[in-house]
């Protein structure tokens, strides 16, 4: 690990000014950043510790009915907040399906949005990686790539984004509140992460020094609470990133779908919103055939980034269809003991209500 300067600013404005300098990085829980530093992948000259900044560790309901999640709110605290889980069950289920209890106790909401890909070539400094060293190439293209992207990838990068939390946030139209050298702004989460294109080293729309203050769920997001699920397929039942995942949320009027929200994880370098599939469901009576058509629409633009990961397209289709089936059946009264797992029984775990 290289030598670095450590700063602990007292205000958000001071933090932004410090982090805007070349070579600076924000430090919160450090559950991803410190690993990257130990491996020589990230080499910041300055760490700007934001853990003591006031007002970033609260969850509050705003007058318009939206929910504001401070950037320093711990994943475990948010997932186990009964009121939050009741209003946004898919988000709670996604949080509880990620990492381990120890990491969920440390990791923060803002840090979750900014975690880096888990591509093994990104983590191996002996491998070519355009994300780590622009212009060096992408060894994943012809390497061990069965878990890599099938949507939105380019010849420069086929990595995927690892977050569970971000998938239902994208489906529910979450907004990221930030403050940077140019002042405050609000960024739709769907537009927050960038696809690789020709510049995979740039992963978000954040400008140098821009600080995440909070994530906000609009009041309409709670209207999906009765029919909202997150489903994740991974190579082992716990403490593993998604091979593919899906958040599905339905707003029902009688026996028909009034509105649908669908997003996929583990298939692209950002959470993938499936708007064509959502439109197909609107006004329809839910059944298995309809959900299969929606799944086909969600993956219509998918293509393997290598022969080894072609299976992910059909897997993702099935995950979407099953997530929709689970959502249509209704949100369970209790979060399953194995959150988001296709092997979970609808018993055990924390109450939604």
| CATH label of the domain that carries residue 294 | 3.30.390.50
Q: What is the pLDDT of residue 352?
A: 67
Please check whether residue 151 is in contact with residue 196, taking contact to mean a CB–CB distance below 8 angstroms: no
Query: Interior CA angle at 185 toward 13 and 160, to 5°?
Result: 105
- The SS3 of residue 35 is helix
Q: How many CB atoms lie within 10 A of CB 160?
A: 30
What's the mean per-residue pLDDT of the chain? 96
Please check whether residue 152 is in contact with residue 272, taking contact to mean a CB–CB distance below 8 angstroms: yes
Q: Which residues pair with 157 in a beta bridge?
A: 154
- CATH number of the domain residue 24 falls in: 3.30.43.10
Query: Does the residue 88 lie in any domain?
Result: no
Q: Kindly state the average pLDDT of the residues 73-83.
A: 98
Q: What is the pLDDT of residue 43?
A: 96
Query: Does the residue 172 lie in any domain?
Result: no
Query: Nearest-CA neighbor of 70 among 177, 218, 189?
Result: 177
Say yes or no to pLDDT of 21 above 80: yes
User: Largest Cα–Cα distance in the chain?
Assistant: 62
Task: Give 135-146 pLDDT, tens digit per residue.
Answer: 999 999 999 999
Q: What is the pLDDT of residue 345?
A: 83
Query: Does the residue 155 lie in any domain?
Result: no
Q: What is the pLDDT of residue 2?
A: 85
Query: Nearest-CA neighbor of 42 among 158, 129, 166?
Result: 129
From CA 51, how far away is CA 64, in angstroms rounded? 28
What b/e readout covers 258-278, taking b as 16+ CB neighbours within 10 angstroms? Answer: ebbbbbbbbbbbbbbbbeebb
Dig out the tokens for 219 from the structure: 């009041």
Element (H, E) at 168: helix 166-171
Residue at which a domain ends, from 15, 38, 54: 54
- Roughly what angle, to the nearest 10 degrees, separates helices 311-329 and 288-298? 140
Query: Does the residue 186 lie in any domain?
Result: no
Phi/psi at 262 (5° precision): -140, 135
Task: Give 212-270 pLDDT, tens digit per residue.
Answer: 999 999 999 999 999 999 999 999 988 899 999 999 999 999 999 999 999 999 999 99
Name the pLDDT band for 187 (thresholds 50, 70, 90). very high
From CA 238, how far away is CA 261, in angstroms rounded? 26
Query: Does the residue 81 lie in any domain?
Result: no
Query: Nearest-CA neighbor of 351 among 339, 327, 275?
Result: 339
Q: How many CB atoms lie within 10 A of CB 171?
A: 31
Query: Does the residue 256 lie in any domain?
Result: yes
Query: Does the residue 348 lie in any domain?
Result: no
Say yes or no to pLDDT of 133 above 70: yes
Q: How many domains does the chain have?
A: 2
Q: Kindly state the average pLDDT of the residues 176-199.
A: 98
Q: Whole-model pTM above 0.85?
A: yes
Please check whether residue 154 is in contact with residue 196, taking contact to mean a CB–CB distance below 8 angstroms: yes
Q: What is the pLDDT of residue 237?
A: 85
Residue 33, domain extent: 1-54
The answer for residues whose C-beta is within 8 angstroms of residue 305's C-beta and 6 or more apart is 141, 145, 148, 149, 150, 153, 158
Quote the percentage of the chain above a pLDDT of 90.
Answer: 95
């Amino acid at each position: 690990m290289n030598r670095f300067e450590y700063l602990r600013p007292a205000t958000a404005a001071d933090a932004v000014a410090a982090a805007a300098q070349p070579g600076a990085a924000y430090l919160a829980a450090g559950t991803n950043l410190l690993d990257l530093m130990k491996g020589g992948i990230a080499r910041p000259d300055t760490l700007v510790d934001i853990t003591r900044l006031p007002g970033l560790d609260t969850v509050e309901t705003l007058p318009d009915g939206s929910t504001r999640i401070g950037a320093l709110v711990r994943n475990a605290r948010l997932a186990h907040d009964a009121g939050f889980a009741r209003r946004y069950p898919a988000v709670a289920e996604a949080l509880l399906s990620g990492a381990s209890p120890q990491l969920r106790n440390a990791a923060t909401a803002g840090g979750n949005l900014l975690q880096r890909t888990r591509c093994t070539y990104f983590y191996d400094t002996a491998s070519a990686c355009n994300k780590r060293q622009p212009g060096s190439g992408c060894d994943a293209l012809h390497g061990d790539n069965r878990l890599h992207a099938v949507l939105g990838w380019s010849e420069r990068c086929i990595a995927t984004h690892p977050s569970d939390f971000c998938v239902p946030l994208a489906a529910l139209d979450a907004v990221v509140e930030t403050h940077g050298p140019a002042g405050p702004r609000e960024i739709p989460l769907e537009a927050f992460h960038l696809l690789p294109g020709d510049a995979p080293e740039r992963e978000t729309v954040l400008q140098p020094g821009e600080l995440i203050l909070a994530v906000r769920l609009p009041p309409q997001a709670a209207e999906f609470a009765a029919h909202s699920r997150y489903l994740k397929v991974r190579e082992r039942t716990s403490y593993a990133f998604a091979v593919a995942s899906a958040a599905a949320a339905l707003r029902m009027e009688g026996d028909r779908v009034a509105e649908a929200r669908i997003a996929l994880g583990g298939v692209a370098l950002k959470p993938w919103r499936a708007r064509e599939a959502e439109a197909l469901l609107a006004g329809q009576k839910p059944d298995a055939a309809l959900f299969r058509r929606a799944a086909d629409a969600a993956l219509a633009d998918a293509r393997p980034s290598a022969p080894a990961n072609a299976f992910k397209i059909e897997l993702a289709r099935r995950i979407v269809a099953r997530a929709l089936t689970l959502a249509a059946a209704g949100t369970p009264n209790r979060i399953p003991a194995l959150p988001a797992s296709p092997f979970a029984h609808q018993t055990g775990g924390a109450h939604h209500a």
